[in-house]
Structure 1
Amino acid sequence: MDVPSGTVSNYRFSFYSPSEIRALSVLEVANDAIFDNFTGRVIDRGLHDLDMGPCTDKDLCVHCGFDYLQCPGHIGHIEFSKPVYNPLMFDLVVRLLKSFCFKCFRINEVPTLVGCLKLLGFPETLLPYQPKQYIMANLIGLPASELRKLALKEMTATSRTLCKRCNTMSWMSRHLNHQQIEVKPAKETKGRINRAAKKNEELEETFEPGEVEVWAEIEALTSSNTPRPVVTFEEGVATGELDDLLESVRERLKKICPNTQKFGVTTPDLVRDMLRCVWMQDSAILRTVLPFLNAVSSKFQYATDVCFMDVMPVSPNICRWPKRMGGTPYESSVTALLSRVLTRSKRLKEIYEYLSDNNWLTSDGRLNVAAMEKQSMGDSSLALTPARSIEALNSVWVLLQAAVNGVYDMTRSVPPTGLEQRQTTVNSSKPHPGFKQLIDKKEGWFRARIMGKRVQFSCRSVISPDPNLCVHEVGVPLYFAQRLYFPERVTAFNIDKLRALVIAGPDKYPGALAVELPDGKVQNIPAGDSEDAVKRRLNMAQRLVTPQPGMHSGWPAIVRRHLEDGDFLLMNRQPTLHKPSMQAHKVRVIKAPWAKTLRLHYAICKAYNADFDGDEMNGHFPQSYQAKAELAHLSAVPFQYLAPKDGTPLAGLIQDHVIASVKLTMRDRFLTHDEYLD
């Protein structure tokens, strides 16, 4: 079998296109039932279909034939009848809606944006005008990432003025619970129109000689009166005209906002068409300001479609292993969230099938309001009137968006006001955590399972003062000393000592925890005072011998002995701000049974920035003679007296100076000759 080999040259993060998700998927999940109520087996085409991998240790994957230990898992997908917002891109969509005109669908011309585009390498011939010198002076020297951030900020934070191209007031937009977007035209006032017209005149005066002619040519190419074909990147043939899409979007905007004083709710497919209009006319600007759109443009016919979802991937079974209680399977929290998405997607599909059966949809899948009103007037036996159908469609659509949001972020899955009762959840008293909650904060996967692993051969406890210790010593409780061990090799010089430690066992201090034989086998030393345990410890001690040249290449046996006085612990207090925050201390074991804290001398606290009001410190026990030598001769406390930064002393006892000053300045204080010299 030829195994391919190679090296990774580069990598990047990107979004899957709908076609890529369908190609990677092994099946479309279409059944909202998960387990059979009588047998407990999984349902075909459900969220735990065995095509996506085994669900128990006894199952075999239908797709690859491996068991749960060998099957890597395979993804499925859920199809949506209508698009929904991509939760990861929703905030960007809301910002982009503030960046262009809702009539000509061209990006607003902002002086700072033009300056950023020029510095980012935008073609000079495509710039609407040359930015002023004072604007360029403020931008020169900024890195490309900062220029893009500033360009996006200025592009989406412009004041609502007249569009320079079509003299139309801009629109206002806002979101509701990260699930819906509302828009309405800005109120036109005489003063605002005059100020906007004056501002446009000032911009026109900034043109250099010859630029007006170039701009006139560009305007002629991008004029709304000139039909421009929409070209697919996949097929390379014309599929429509820009004017048709512009006209359709304008008509739908008028229908949702007949009254300019109130906000109208848009739908994801309308917002998607709006961004498509912008992409077809100003894709060069969007590619420059948002490079990821340039990266995904090869996957999508319109790069802005990455902000929407027509299909949703379903993670493999191994990533959401079902729980079992009394032999009955139960879905995990991730499966419960996906089940809610699937249920609402099916409801939306049923409504569309009902609308299609009544011929209430146009050829492109949009609502045919005229046909709905005409048919409802002549037929009174309809189960749903046109108004009720539209209301049901919009309600289920919003609930589907809330369910999709909940898979990624629990906080964005709250249904809008009035739709709370229609939300169907399992164990609704406590919402299921989304992907963000699973990886976020201290309880998340990264900090709890990757970054927050427990360190071996270390201890951690509260520190307390002990002036009886030397400055270079650390007091370690007996509890820690009996659990930390050092692998000491058996030689002719220490064999008697190590035999005594093995006989003492793990319960008595000083003792040992295990013996590692020359062949690599590890034997735990039996604990307890029973006759059998004592005999076994004596037998293990008698079998300890010095290294034999003819056996196991002369490799010695190793005894894992307890931490002892004179060993070194590498002490660390977080945050580790400089090198002296980690120093090697000699161990003095505190054998009092009630001792639970690590003890330090007062004079060493400055290096650690530590005090004794509840601070905790870590102690790391080296596991080799080389590490032990480095701690003794490089990292020990006597070698860390001066700060590496500027050579100032780190060790010192401030309290002693204060006490001495108080005693010296007390009233009627007289010193003897010996006291004065001391």
Structure 2
Amino acid sequence: MKEQFRETDVAKKISHICFGVKSAEQMRQQAHIQIVSKSLYGQDNNHTPLAFGVLDHRMGTSEKDRNCQTCGKNLAECLGHYGYLDLELPCFHVGYFKAVIGILQMICKTCSRILLTAEERKQFLDFLKRPGLAYLQKRGLKKKISDKCRKKTVCLYCGAYNGPVKKCGLLKIFHEKYKTTKKVVDPMVSHFLQSFDTAIEHNKEVESLLGRAQENLNPLVVLNLLRRIPAEDIPLLLMNPEAGKPSDLILTRLLVPPLCIRPSVVSDLKSGTNEDDLTMKLTEIIFLNDVIKKHRITGAKTQMIMEDWDFLQLQCALYINSELSGIPMNMAPKKWTRGFVQRLKGKQGRFRGNLSGKRVDFSGRTVISPDPNLRIDEVAVPVHVAKILTFPEKVNQANMQLMRKLVQNGPEIHPGANFIQQRHTQMKRFLKYGNREKIAQELRFGDIVERHLIDGDIVLFNRQPSLHKLSIMAHILKDGLFHLYGELL
């Protein structure tokens, strides 16, 4: 039986939990190896995982007959170890994409300073220093700061012109720097528009497009902008520099999870293995990384590198959340895969499927109906259910005779017993087979008999769905109506 582990000599109290964003350096420190190879297995016939590949056994093991190469433990004991892979070009994190746009709307797109006057900065910083600020207060404050920043079109520090920042297409951000709705046009904007006079003379179509002149903020530009945000401005973005800096919201490095959460399944039908979705997605990311590296070395066209970059960005997004909408037809994946978000969310996810709801032993479900003969704290259970649901009772001097009688009755006759677990061997024996008379005579103190439910047992009853504690209540079992209920079922 599992027991809670607690260090006896150390008494500690958890003060709080802080969720943050891992920086690239923290990922490197947490990981054991760097993943560089896109191939999974070597060329030999032994099916050996390739060193520095996605299935390197230094990240743990997913096979019963092979131990982890880092800690030497087997599948049951090794928790797994992380790896990491460096991205050739930075990418937007699909989970933080909205947050990145929010930050870009609040800062200058030239000098990275927050678009607030000195007086407004002081006022907001004073408010943030108040102890015990509630979450809703912080959210309201962020909206106020954002609204003030959006209204400012000229940076107070470098004099650069700033326009609205918008999402455009899949994981793309555009800065409409020269968009004007005012009657009085800024000199800087008018100078920019005049620079196209010669072009308009030769091509009239340019004139209609001038109003939509945009600046593409790709991940590399955004990363440099976020890195240059001064430390004193970070609290005004409602971020904690200790938990995560703005630049950490852009992916430059990916953590490769341990093998135990993405096991390889050996196929009996065809030679080879079925790899997990995460493993396959990681190999695609490494492959695209290598393609970009090769194109940069050989001096390929910029257009080609940009297309590769878009693919890399899409694969990184699908690795985290595979239910992205708005993927272009030419880039859409052929096969649907499960990302991290899909593993966690929904009814079949980790929280609701594995943590909140579990399949347990010693439980059953049945039809219930009221009976005026029962006391308010009693409940009747059908004989069929009472024969299958068991209670593990330890044999002692007081109950020895009863336990012998139950063992002799066996699983078929109620009240009887289904299993017996002997004290020394820890082996469970099914009482349907074998000599029950002999087993009954050999009963010893300390043996555990898994007997049928009988009158007077205390059971937990609930009505699904159990939404609060009062849904689950203890009742005393009544077996006077067993046969009646058995017939009703």
Normalising by structure 2, we get a TM-score of 0.78
SS of the counterpart of 1:460? coil
Q: Which runs of 5+ in 2 are unaligned?
A: 1-8, 187-208
Instruction: Report the identity percentage.
Output: 23
Deviation, 1:325, is 0.4
- Return the letter of the residue paired with 2:94: P
Distance 1:579 1:405 in 2: 43
Distance 1:510 1:583 in 2: 21
Count the aligned residue pairs: 449
Task: Give 1 or 2 for the bigger CA radius of gyration.
Answer: 1
Say which SS state the counterpart of residue 182 (structure 1) adopts: strand
Using the alignment, how far apart are the partners of 1:175 and 1:514 within structure 2? 64
Please tell me the residue identity of whatever aligns with 2:274. Y
SS in 2 for 1:45: coil
| Structure 2 counterparts to residues 171-570 of structure 1, below 5 A | 171-176=163-168, 179-185=171-177, 187-190=179-182, 259-277=210-228, 279-280=229-230, 283-296=231-244, 303-326=245-268, 327-355=271-299, 389-412=301-324, 416-417=327-328, 420-422=329-331, 428-429=334-335, 431-467=336-372, 469-488=374-393, 495-517=400-422, 521=426, 524-527=429-432, 533=434, 536-544=435-443, 555=445, 558-570=448-460
Correspondence for 1:52? 59
> What is the Cα deviation at residue 114 of structure 1?
6.0
How far apart, in 1, do the equivalents of 2:82 and 2:238 lie?
Answer: 30
RMSD: 3.6
**CA deviation map 1:408-438 (0-9, x unaligned):** 11123x6742xx4356x5xx33x11111111
| Structure 2 counterpart SS, 1:459 | coil
SS at match of 1:87: coil
Structure 2 Cα separation of the partners of residues 453 and 409 of structure 1: 25
Separation in 2 of the partners of 1:119 and 1:260? 39
In structure 1, what is the Cα distance between the partners aligned to 2:327 and 2:55?
Answer: 30
How far is 1:315 from its partner? Answer: 1.9
CA separation of 1:590 and 1:292: change in aligned 2, threshold 3 A:
same
- Select which of 85, 91, 103 maps to 1:78: 85
CA contact (8 A) 2:163 2:177 kept: yes
Q: CA–CA distance in 2 between the matches of 1:491 and 1:317?
A: 47
Distance in 2, Cα, partners of 1:462 & 1:259: 73
TM-score norm. by structure 1 comes to 0.58
Structure 1 letter corresponding to 2:24? P
CA contact 1:399–1:415 (8 Å) conserved in 2: no
In the alignment, the residues of structure 2 paired with residue 119 and residue 146 of structure 1 have an alpha-carbon distance, to the nearest angstrom, of 14
Aligned to 1:632: none
- CA–CA distance in 1 between the matches of 2:55 and 2:285? 15
Alpha-carbon distance, 1:448 to partner: 2.4
Of structures 1 and 2, the one with the larger relative CO (CA 8 A, separation 6+) is: 2
Any conservation in 2 of the 1:488–1:560 contact (CA below 8 Å)? yes
Deviations 1:14-66 (A, max 9, x none): 43332333344443322212134772332333211234344534445455555
Q: Is the contact between residue 21 and residue 77 of structure 1 (CA under 8 Å) also seen in structure 2?
A: yes
Identify the residue that residue 19 of structure 1 maps to in structure 2.
25
**Secondary structure at 1:410 match in 2:** coil
Distance (Å, rounded) in 1 between the aligned partners of 2:184 and 2:96? 33
Cα distance in 2, alignment partners of residues 66 and 473 from structure 1? 50
Q: 1:286 corresponds to which letter in structure 2?
A: I
CA contact (8 A) 2:63 2:75 kept: yes
Distance 1:567 1:452 in 2: 25
What is the match of residue 478 of structure 2? 587
Shift of the 285–422 alpha-carbon distance from structure 1 to 2, 3 Å rule, reads closer
Residues 1:31 and 2:37 aligned together = yes
C-alpha separation in 2, matches of 1:567 and 1:141: 53
